[in-house]
């Protein structure tokens, strides 16, 4: 008879994950241990975004605003694939840096780029 542990190993083969998954079980508790890779790259993934990533996102939004000055933030979010909250933060950043300015009312206004 094949033990439960061996059957579970057959379901999660090491060759797919590249890691050894261990299973321990008694009558009440089963434990699955799956080691996560902790590399320098994975630890610093969020820290390296910095200005390059932000500028890239800002450039995407700025390019859309230059093409269609009367565009709304929800439409920018749809076109870029960003969340509306992210678009809001990017536009706030561009306004703070005095790169763009909103002219007119919220619904009937348009964006004006102040720098090239």
Mean pLDDT for 99-116 is 86
pLDDT at 16: 57
Q: 84 lies in a domain?
A: yes
- For 29, residues 6+ apart whose C-beta sits below 8 A from its C-beta are none
Give dist(CA 63, CA 67) in Å, integer: 6
Give the span between the Cα atoms of 75 and 101, in whole angstroms.
Answer: 17
Q: How far apart are CA 69 and CA 79, in angstroms?
A: 14
Question: Does the residue 41 lie in any domain?
Answer: no
Single pTM value for the model: 0.54
Confidence of residue 89 (pLDDT cuts 50, 70, 90): very high
Range of the domain at 81: 50-113
Residue-wise pLDDT tens digits, 3-30: 555 555 545 556 555 667 777 888 788 8
Q: Would 44 be classed as within a structural domain? A: no
Report residue 7 CA to chain centroid gap.
Answer: 37
Sign for the pseudo-dihedral over CA of 85, 90, 92, 93: positive
Number of domains in the chain: 2
pLDDT in tens, 45-84: 555 555 555 688 999 999 999 999 999 999 999 999 999 9
């Amino acid at each position: 008879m094949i033990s439960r542990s061996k059957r579970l190993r057959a379901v999660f083969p090491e060759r797919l994950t590249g890691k050894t998954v261990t299973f321990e079980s008694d009558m009440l508790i089963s434990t699955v241990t799956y080691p996560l890779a902790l590399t320098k790259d994975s630890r610093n993934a969020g820290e390296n975004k910095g200005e390059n990533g932000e500028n890239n996102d800002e450039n995407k939004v700025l390019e859309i605003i230059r093409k269609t000055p009367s565009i709304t933030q929800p439409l920018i979010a749809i076109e870029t694939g960003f969340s509306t909250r992210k678009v809001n933060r990017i536009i706030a950043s561009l306004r703070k840096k005095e790169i763009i300015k909103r002219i007119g009312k919220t619904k009937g206004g348009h964006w004006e780029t102040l720098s090239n």
